[in-house]
Amino acid sequence: MFESLEIIPQDPILSLMGEFLADQNPNKVDLGVGVYKTEDGQTPVLASVKTAEQYRWQNEASKSYIGGPGNIEFNQLMRVLALGAEHPALAQNRVASIQAPGGCGSLRLGAELINRIEPGKTIWMSKPTWANHVPLFGEAGLSIAEYPYYDRENCAVRFAQMCQTLEQQAKAGDVVLLHACCHNPCGADLNNEQWQTLAELCKAKGLVPFLDMAYQGFGSGLAEDTFGVRTMAATVDEMFVAISCSKNFGLYRERIGLLMVIAADSHGAEASGSQLINLARGIWSMPPAHGAALVATILSSDELRQQWQGEVKEMRDRINGLRSQAVAKLNKACGGADFSFIEKEFGMFSFLGIGPEQVQRLKQEFGIYMVNSSRINVAGLNAGNMDYFAESVAKVL
Ligand SMILES: Cc1ncc(COP(=O)(O)O)c(C=O)c1O
């Protein structure tokens, strides 16, 4: 039965990882894969997570299933982390949520629910967006449309064109996928005023926002980065939020995330919640326990929560510090070119703004690896490779 199957080429980021590992260049630099790295290039387990794991090892009393919605305490705490404790939708029972395997599991389950409500419904995505958004929504059956987002020439958000496209081309009931913070791949985020304008636009046009929050805390702060989510939730009646704990808890391989639906009333929330459990039953049946238990342990303990907040701040401060250093080094090395946009962006990613041939030369001649679009993971830079990086970029410019 498998003869007719074609061999699919490996995902470009995964093959880049393979090429990097095989490269013998002692100066090689990995700016490709999207994981946080410390000054010495490691992606360590957070200390708060280690303590929570120890607690769990000592206290876990059963390995029985945890049930369809997942860890209930995790669900409650994550809702509050995203919306704030005072959000009226919580008191009005308008929120449903389900634990899912990572941000991707949450996005896919949301896509499945949308397709169950209306097969082939249109979802609008930013141009560009994270490459995996396309299969996550497209393979669930949704129709994908694009709104302009990043202006490569001016290294800024094309907000007017974005609004104009949604205003003129989207129809009531269409879903709009938005990066809640730390846009992947471009790092250019909406400012607070733009979020407010966009929320009003969605409300007026009857568009349903779907916020993907994979980097809460990596931009401006844990609460600050929820501005888009909270503004939307305060303005529109119905929306989705997919949250990943991969980056801010460093729980990448534990596959832990949450999908939240905010409905217009408590019936909508109850119905959505029941449909989500039913959909998940037909895909993974029961969620894994470990990641959710760790997050719940951390968020429910004053001490561990504080420690975790400190660790998130440390990661954020390091990334922002690297952004400033990269701008200074690049501007100095590449006399005349202006990279100051990198400092105005958020999260781990930015486009360097160079062409594919230059990206190839950086890889082949200097062992500097980045995605073909010139997306770099800023966290892959450090004191040891920053000068080499800037000088190499200058050589290919
Ligand atoms: C924009 C965006 N959304 C969602 C995710 C989901 O990540 P995960 O499924 O590993 O939690 C990522 C991870 O890179 C991402 O960049």
| Dist. CA 243–CA 358, nearest whole Å | 35
Q: Give the CATH fold of the 12-44+317-396 domain.
A: Aspartate Aminotransferase, domain 1 (3.90.1150)
State whether the beta carbon of 190 lies less than 6 angstroms from ligand 1. Answer: no
Cα-to-centroid distance, 284 and ligand 1 (Å): 19
Atom of ligand 1 nearest to the CA of 256: 11
With 0-12 / 13-18 / 19 or more C-beta atoms within 10 angstroms meaning exposed / middle / buried, residue 53 is middle
| Dist. CA 67–CA 288, nearest whole Å | 10
Closest by CA position to 212, among listed 277, 173, 151, 257: 257
Beta-carbon contacts of residue 248 (< 8 Å; ≥ 6 apart) = 215, 216, 217, 218, 222, 312, 315
State whether the beta carbon of 101 lies less than 6 angstroms from ligand 1. Answer: no
Cα-to-centroid distance, 43 and ligand 1 (Å): 16
Q: How far is CA 199 from the centre of its chain?
A: 20
Position 10 scores a pLDDT of 84
State whether the beta carbon of 102 lies less than 6 angstroms from ligand 1. Answer: yes
Cα-to-centroid distance, 99 and ligand 1 (Å): 15
Position 47 scores a pLDDT of 98
Protein residue whose Cα sits closest to atom 12 of ligand 1: 214
State whether the beta carbon of 214 lies less than 6 angstroms from ligand 1. Answer: yes
Q: Which of 182, 210, 244 to mutate to test the pocket of ligand 1 (most atoms within 8 A of CB)?
A: 244
In eight-state DSSP terms, residue 123 is E
Cα-to-centroid distance, 397 and ligand 1 (Å): 31
Strand, helix or coil at 211?
strand
Position 14 scores a pLDDT of 85
Domain boundary assignment for the chain: 12-44+317-396, 65-300
Answer yes or no: 130 catalytic: yes
State whether the beta carbon of 103 lies less than 6 angstroms from ligand 1. Answer: yes
Position 134 scores a pLDDT of 98
State whether the beta carbon of 184 lies less than 6 angstroms from ligand 1. Answer: yes
106 within 8 A of 100, measured Cβ to Cβ = yes
Residue with the two structure tokens 């470990």:
290
One-character DSSP codes across 169-189: H--TT-EEEEESSS-TTT---
Cα-to-centroid distance, 54 and ligand 1 (Å): 27
Q: How far is CA 87 from the centre of its chain?
A: 23
Protein residue whose Cα sits closest to atom 13 of ligand 1: 214
Domains 12-44+317-396 and 65-300 share a fold: no
Atom of ligand 1 nearest to the CA of 183: 1
Cα-to-centroid distance, 298 and ligand 1 (Å): 21
**pLDDT by residue for the chain (397 residues), tens digit each?**
999 999 998 888 888 999 999 999 999 999 998 999 999 999 999 999 999 999 999 999 999 999 999 999 999 999 999 999 999 999 999 999 999 999 999 999 999 999 999 999 999 999 999 999 999 999 999 999 999 999 999 999 999 999 999 999 999 999 999 999 999 999 999 999 999 999 999 999 999 999 999 999 999 999 999 999 999 999 999 999 999 999 999 999 999 999 999 999 999 999 999 999 999 999 999 999 999 999 999 999 999 999 999 999 999 999 999 999 999 999 999 988 999 999 999 999 999 999 999 999 999 999 999 999 999 999 999 999 999 999 999 999 9
Cα-to-centroid distance, 104 and ligand 1 (Å): 6
Give the other-Cβ count within 10 Å of 235's Cβ.
18
Q: Which of 246, 259, 284, 349 to mutate to test the pocket of ligand 1 (most atoms within 8 A of CB)?
A: 246
Q: Which of 132, 134, 179 to mutate to test the pocket of ligand 1 (most atoms within 8 A of CB)?
A: 132
Catalytic residue among 130, 174, 225, 329: 130
Cα-to-centroid distance, 132 and ligand 1 (Å): 8
77 within 8 A of 300, measured Cβ to Cβ = yes
Position 362 scores a pLDDT of 97
Closest by CA position to 236, among listed 265, 205, 199: 199
370 within 8 A of 352, measured Cβ to Cβ = yes
Answer yes or no: 212 catalytic: yes
State whether the beta carbon of 136 lies less than 6 angstroms from ligand 1. Answer: no
The dihedral formed by the CA atoms of 134, 135, 141 and 145, expressed in degrees to the nearest 10:
10
The CATH class, in words, for 65-300 is alpha beta
State whether the beta carbon of 257 lies less than 6 angstroms from ligand 1. Answer: yes
